[in-house]
DNA sequence: TGGACTATGTATAAGCA
DNA sequence: TTGCTTATACATAGTCC
């Protein structure tokens, strides 16, 4: 992300990926801690690393547990109403990306001319997929799963 | 965090805090998404904002749920390792889009021009906070807690 | 509110110890 | 590795719309 630009894709090289992982994990946790402190919100992060087959909870188990306890305590209606996913963020992002891509693509075509494209469609690609939730893997939850369902009473 | 140094403390001013929250939330999510994509780890974040009484699950409910499902399946994890969720599918598409955009963007920059930048003196600010883990919120775990410890066998 | 902008602080990829 | 250092890319506080 510096010295070289970030290539937004999996880092293939094992060593580099692990290295990057370590640094970025630290950075992410710092950021989440800052968010928590500066803005007084509760942030719980869980990371699953398939390479190490490890699962981490941040900032610690108590906070994570408290977060989920709070979740449980929220009135059901309110909870499901306020419960959001990044889907909207994602959609916005995708739209912007696609708009940008399209513009740039048009520019390229203008400036360039005939360059055989393999299969590049500078058109809404993912959008349709996202706009209708029903198109996914068949039976999808009609509504976000309530956390109380996700986390049944934790028996100590 | 720029223009002025970060004061590692609650932002008292409501407007500023909310503003900061919005920006930082966006940044945090971007970071977590990058971590996920670059290093191929699963990152689930839950944020509870007492001011808005809102609860967010990132990248979405399904991923968070899957993460926790994995917890339950820890002993027989390999089975679910390659399970591809709708979200992962989506993100793969996004990833491709962004790679494409990036390539084109680089081409544009090459053909266009560069940028100037300035940088200077490195100084520790919040750093100490992270370098010694004990400075966090009092009793912090000496190391990230493994989830299997956090959530002992949830099934009675 | 919700973008843009810009100056500056941060994060981090490579390099090196 | 495990950590520093450094050069650069990125994030973002303050500001103006």
Query: Which among B38, B45, B136 has CB closest to A20?
Result: B38
Shortest CB distance from B94 goes to which of A18, A100, A126? A126
Residue B89's nearest CA partner among A145, A126, A133 is A126
Protein residue minimizing CA–C1' distance to C7: B3
Is pLDDT at A15 greater than 60 in this prediction?
A: yes
Does this model's pTM top 0.95? My answer is no
Rg (CA), chain A: 21
B60 CA → C4 C1’, Å: 29
Residue with the bigger pLDDT between A91 and B52: it is: B52
Q: Is the CB of A20 under 7 A from strand C?
A: yes
User: What is the mean pLDDT of the segment spanning A39-51?
Assistant: 82
Q: Which residue of A has its CA nearest to B27?
A: A31
B156-CA/D10-C1' distance, Å: 47
Beta carbons of A80 and A72 less than 8 angstroms apart? no
Q: How far apart are CA B58 and CA A8, in angstroms?
A: 19
Nearest chain B CA: its distance from A109 CA (Å): 11
At residue B87, the pLDDT reads 45
- For residues A32 and B45, the answer to whether their CB atoms sit within 8 Å is yes
For residue A137, is pLDDT > 50?
no
- Ranked by mean pLDDT, the top range of A55-69, A112-126, B15-29, B52-66 is B15-29
How close B136 comes to chain A (CA, Å)? 9
* Residues linked to residue A60 through DSSP beta bridges, in sequence order: none
Bridge partners of B54?
Answer: B49
Please judge whether A39 and B24 are an interchain contact, meaning their C-beta atoms are less than 8 angstroms apart.
yes
CB A52 within 8 A of CB B81: no
Nearest CA in chain B to A99: B101
Residues A71, B94: C-beta atoms closer than 8 Å: no
Out of A79, A86, A125, the one facing B58 most closely (by C-beta) is: A86
What is the predicted pLDDT for the residue at A2? 76
- Are the Cβ atoms of B61 and A137 closer than 8 angstroms? no
Element containing residue B3 per DSSP (H, E): none
Nucleotide nearest B5, CA–C1', reads C9
Range of A4-8, A60-64, B59-63, B66-70 with top mean pLDDT: A4-8
Give chain B's residues under pLDDT 50.
72, 74-87, 89, 112-156
Q: Which residue in chain B is spatially nearest to A128 when comparing CA positions?
A: B90
Residue A82: DSSP 8-state? H
């Amino acid at each position: 992300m510096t010295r070289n630009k970030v290539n937004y894709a999996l880092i293939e090289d094992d060593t580099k990926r692990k290295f990057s992982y370590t640094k970025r994990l630290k950075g992410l946790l710092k950021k989440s801690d800052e968010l928590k402190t500066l803005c007084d919100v509760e942030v719980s992060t869980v990371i699953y690393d398939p390479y190490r087959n490890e699962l981490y909870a941040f900032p610690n188990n108590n906070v994570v547990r408290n977060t989920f306890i709070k979740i449980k305590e929220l009135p059901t209606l309110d909870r499901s109403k306020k419960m959001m996913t990044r889907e909207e963020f994602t959609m916005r992002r995708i739209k912007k990306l696609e708009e940008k891509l399209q513009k740039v693509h048009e520019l390229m075509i203008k400036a360039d001319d005939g360059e055989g494209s393999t299969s590049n469609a500078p058109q809404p690609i993912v959008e349709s997929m996202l706009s209708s939730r029903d198109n996914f893997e068949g039976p999808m939850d009609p509504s976000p799963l309530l956390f109380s369902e996700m986390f049944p009473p934790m028996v100590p």
